[in-house]
A = this chain, B = another copy of it.
């Protein structure tokens, strides 16, 4: 089982998809970045994972469908709509289908399963919750949604604090807590710990299930030497009350993670991490090529054997 956000985590998800039996994979996705755009329910992390597993992801952008066109979006712009959130034409078909099924009363987890079936995805993709949870960032430019902060403002505003609106009252997706308890292995992907992993951990019961599971729980650091491989993770870690480093990550995850996989460049952090009761595996965690992704997945699979 993998817990993941979008782009960064998707690289490791793809590695596991290539190295393990796809039908055995359960991928739990953050949904706190979900947005309603032009009236459409967009689940960016779910879509990135589904498109990745379907072999459709645009590898250059890390989101959307490869070769997609933007005819609808261009026309929406001409009609006076804001179009900073980029939606391709084929991507819009996904959102239209999801929005219609949700409006018909189906929960997001079932809608996601239906979309996976249509895309020929054999792994299980599980949104963290069927209820709406929304990351809200209090910033130097006022309160922003994640997409406003990340896409529209290009993560430039200073973030003072953030909250996961609705997380206290939401429920884990059907089967999610049992799946954690019964997993052979749990991997926390190298996604943004603040905006991708923390919302999953904030779903009632998830953190407890991770503490209680007999499965090995590993996490892969999304950063080296205090800087994330991509995106603003390092800038946001202060909001978790931890330092912006793999050691800070270990202190945020120490109650449920058995092993943290860190980059060679962070190996001097090993003693500090081990003092938190978290095991350390030093590996090459940068994933540029498919080989990198597969190699890291194999490294993690070896932790269970």
Chain A residues with CB under 8 Å of chain B are 38-40, 69, 71-73, 75-76, 78-81, 89-90, 92-94, 96-97, 99-100, 103, 114-115, 118-119
A92 to B71, CA, bound (A): 10
Q: Report the minimal beta-carbon distance from A293 to chain B, rounded to whole angstroms.
A: 27
By a CB distance below 8 angstroms, the chain B residues around A103 are 39
User: Is chain A's binding surface mostly helix, strand, loop or mixed?
Assistant: helix
A131 to B93, CA, bound (A): 28
By a CB distance below 8 angstroms, the chain B residues around A73 are 93
Q: Report the minimal beta-carbon distance from A100 to chain B, rounded to whole angstroms.
A: 4
Give the oligomeric copy count. 2
Q: Given A89-B75, A93-B76, A93-B79, verify A99-B39 contact (CB < 8 Å).
A: yes
A302 to B100, CA, bound (A): 50
By a CB distance below 8 angstroms, the chain B residues around A39 are 39, 96, 99-100, 103
Contact between B40 and A79 (Cβ–Cβ < 8 Å)? no
By a CB distance below 8 angstroms, the chain B residues around A96 are 38-40, 72, 76, 81
Q: Given A97-B81, A99-B39, verify A90-B72 contact (CB < 8 Å).
A: yes
Contact between A89 and B72 (Cβ–Cβ < 8 Å)? yes
A84 to B96, CA, bound (A): 16
Complex A-B: 5 CB contacts under 8 Å: A69-B71, A71-B90, A76-B96, A79-B97, A79-B119
By a CB distance below 8 angstroms, the chain B residues around A69 are 69, 71, 89
A185 to B216, CA, bound (A): 81
Please indicate which of the listed interface residues A39, A69, A76, A80 has the most CB atoms of chain B within 10 Å of its own CB: A39
By a CB distance below 8 angstroms, the chain B residues around A114 are 80
By a CB distance below 8 angstroms, the chain B residues around A81 are 93, 96-97, 100
By a CB distance below 8 angstroms, the chain B residues around A115 are 79
A248 to B81, CA, bound (A): 47
By a CB distance below 8 angstroms, the chain B residues around A40 are 96
Contact between A78 and B38 (Cβ–Cβ < 8 Å)? no
Partner of A38, one of B38, B71, B89, B100: B100
Q: Given A78-B118, A118-B80, verify A72-B99 contact (CB < 8 Å).
A: no
A92 to B89, CA, bound (A): 10
Contact between B71 and A94 (Cβ–Cβ < 8 Å)? no
Please list the 4 inter-chain residue pairs (A to B) with the smallest Cβ-Cβ separation, ordered nearest first: A75-B93, A71-B89, A39-B100, A75-B90
Please indicate which of the listed interface residues A78, A81, A93, A103 has the most CB atoms of chain B within 10 Å of its own CB: A93
Instruction: List 17 extra interface pairs beyond A40-B96, A69-B71, A80-B118, CB under 8 A.
Output: A39-B39, A39-B96, A69-B69, A71-B71, A71-B89, A72-B72, A72-B90, A73-B93, A75-B90, A75-B92, A76-B97, A79-B94, A79-B115, A79-B118, A80-B97, A80-B114, A89-B89
By a CB distance below 8 angstroms, the chain B residues around A78 are 93, 118
